Structures are given as C-alpha cells and as structure tokens.
Amino acid sequence: ALVDCKFAWSRIAAPRTLQSSVHISHSSFFQRTTVQLASATVSMHMYAAALLASAAALAPSTRLTPTRRSRIYTAVAEPETTEKAVEPPKCPLNAEAQLLAARDAVLRASKDGVTRQQLRTLLRRDGELVPPDETWTGGIMQLYGACRPLARDLLRKIGEARDDKPSLREQRLDVSGVDGESLLVAEGESARNDASLFIQPSSEVQKTIENVCAAAGPRLVLTLNPQFRDVDDTLDFLAKKTGLLGSIGGFLGGKAAFTNSMDSLGFEETFSLQEFVVTGTQVRIFKAYPFGWRIFALSDRDDEPAISLGSSGADRPDYNVIAEVLEANKISPKIFRDVGRGKALVQGVIDVTYEDIVAGR
C-alpha cells in the first residue's frame, strides 16, 4: 500500500488538491523549493528515489547452478573522459566493477537527456555477485538489505563524478515494513545535481513515483531492481488486454499498468546485468547505455575476463539461442568440464556467436 509519509511529502511538492491555489517553483528538491500561497511563503523540499526488486533469471529454478569460485580478474570500469571514444564496457565480474559500470551508464544517459532511468543489477552475497532470485532465503527483505548499500554507493559515485558531495536521505515506503521498498534522495551542493532513487519499487508505489517525477523536473530519477520480471508471464499477457480480461490480469498481478505508467514517465532501461544458468554454464547478459545487449559466459579460469558469446542489439537475449551457441561450440556443462570431460571454457574457444545462430535460422 502507498505510504503518505510526512518525511517524503515535505520534500516533494504540494498535494494535487492544492495545486490550483499553490504556485510551486522548483530550483531544488529540498531547501531550494519555494511555495507561494496567497501572501504567505512556505518553504518545501523534495524527496525521491528508486531501487529495484529482483532481476529474474531466464532459466528455470530447477536448473543445476555451478559452484561459485572467487575470481581474481578485476574488470573495473575506468572514469570516462571526452578525449577518447566510448567503447562498450567489459562485463562486470565483481561488485566494484558493476558499481562503476552502472555509474558510467547513468551519466552517459543523463548527458543525452535521459533523466528517468531503470537499472537492474546483481547483488553482493558472500563476496560474490549473484542474481536476486529465490536462492535468497530471507526473501525481499534480505534483497533490500543487499540493495540498499549499492543504491547509496551509486548515488555517491554519481555525485562525485559531477564534482559534488551529495547528502543522502532515505524514507521507507512500505506500510508493513516487510515489502523492501524505499526512497533515497541525494541532495547535491548544486541544485541541478539532486537525484532520487527508488529501491525495489512495485506497483504499490506507482503513484508516489509519478508524484516524484512531476516534482523533480529535469533532475535525475532512478529505479533500482523493480519488483517485476522483465519477461512476460500469463498474467502480464492478460493485463495488456482491454476490458474485463485486462482488469483481471492486472488485479491478479500483471505488471502492464505499472510498466505503462513508467513508460509514459519516460523511464528507459540504461543498465542491466543479469545472470542465469544455461545448460550448466553461468551466463550473464549485460546492457549499458547506449550499447545494446551482450552475452557472456563466465570463464573456467579465475584470472581472465568473461567470454563473449555475441550480442542481440536492442532485443533481450533469448535463452534458447544462448543454449544453441553453447551447443554449437561443443561447450559441456561445467560439472563435466571441472573433471576434465569436455574442453575448458576459456578465451578463444567460441567460434559460433549469438549473431551466427540468429542469422542461420
């Protein structure tokens, strides 16, 4: 349920019922927002933020997941400069590399005028990056605990890249306290650098997101790991219908109404790093603005980067096509490779790419 929290509303804007008699001029989210009502002048602030919910795995949960090992290789994104052409970033293998890659994607998109951005990330657990899936026995609140520090670090890194030192504030949005949703706001030293981030938002906070975006103006609003799958299921199919079927689908959990609202607000997916298992091999699909989707397999060696399996452009990679890529290159499941049954999955062994499979269909 939507929370009408005093802390949040003191930082956003006047309620819509007052807008006919209230003039709001935004020079900042917080202390720079001035509200004029008749002869009285009231100082108001803005509060916003976004954090996503689980990045769903494409593979069924029953698939065997290879044992994880600590990786020595560090693929760290370097700060970008205007003196060199921007190249697609390497697939992040650790938390620091993911943080910097996400920061750079957000900054590139923001520079191009994209101020409403959605991000999906892996989360750190026991020193490794893992997908936010059903293996987290603590559920959504355990995911929230792992997401929150990532969100705070991301806003700080964005501020630092803008030569700013933002102060952070957070407001929980879930009434029950068990839904793992909150708002983070970074108030910059300069008003234009204010940014908001929703942590694991669901359709329950749709109205809050709309209000925050309306008050934010040209300032940055992010959502991190929203609580809906980015692939459709039966309920989503129904929710897209008009009339009774659409109403039933939406009521039972279809995400169409929520995603339609996000689309209308201008949200664009600027960063996504997801992982799942394909025929016994750990695969990561990666998208970082302005580049399209790319597919990687984790190397059997801990001291080298992920192995490129190709790219799928603007379309999310298809699980079945990835499986065909591994089969075409005679890549056995990792449990067999670990005992010497099958060639090692290392740099230089991929001859048939994702694009080759698609072109041959």
In sequence order, what DSSP letters do the residues of 290-311 get, joined into one string? Answer: TS-EEEEE--SSTTSPPEEEEE
Provide the pairing of β-strand 49-50 with 116-120: unpaired
Query: What six digits make up the tokens of 68?
Result: 């994880």
19-25 long-range contacts, CB within 8 A, separation 24+: 24/215
> What is residue 318's DSSP assignment?
P
Provide the pairing of β-strand 167-172 with 182-187: antiparallel
Mean pLDDT of 289-314: 97
Mean pLDDT of 41-52: 37
> What is residue 333's DSSP assignment?
-
Mean pLDDT of 155-172: 96
Cα(30)–Cα(227) distance, integer angstroms = 28
Question: What is the model's pLDDT at position 66?
Answer: 61
Say if pTM beats, i.e. exceeds, 0.85: no
pLDDT reading at 170 higher than 90? yes
Q: Tell whether omega for the bond before 317 is within 30 degrees of 0, i.e. cis.
A: no
Weakest mean pLDDT among 18-32, 145-159, 165-179, 241-255: 18-32
Of residues 19 and 197, the one with the higher pLDDT is 197
Give the residue from 257, 261, 265, 259 showing the smallest Cα distance to 239.
257
Average pLDDT, the chain: 80
Cα(149)–Cα(100) distance, integer angstroms = 14
pLDDT reading at 350 higher than 80? yes
Question: pLDDT tens digits, residue range 50-62?
Answer: 333 333 333 334 3
Question: What is the model's pLDDT at position 6?
Answer: 44
Question: What is the model's pLDDT at position 176?
Answer: 76
Question: What is the model's pLDDT at position 23?
Answer: 37
pLDDT reading at 123 higher than 70? yes
Cα(24)–Cα(215) distance, integer angstroms = 9
Question: pLDDT tens digits, residue range 214-255?
Answer: 999 999 999 999 998 776 544 344 444 455 544 444 444 457
CB atoms within 10 A of CB 360: 9
Identify whether the C-beta of residue 119 lies closer than 8 Å to the C-beta of residue 222. Answer: yes
Calculate the dihedral angle through the C-alpha atoms of 315, 320, 321, 325, rounding to the nearest 10 degrees: 140
Work out the pLDDT band at 24, boundaries 50, 70, 90: very low
Cα(140)–Cα(125) distance, integer angstroms = 14
Cα(221)–Cα(231) distance, integer angstroms = 23
Identify whether the C-beta of residue 106 lies closer than 8 Å to the C-beta of residue 270. Answer: yes
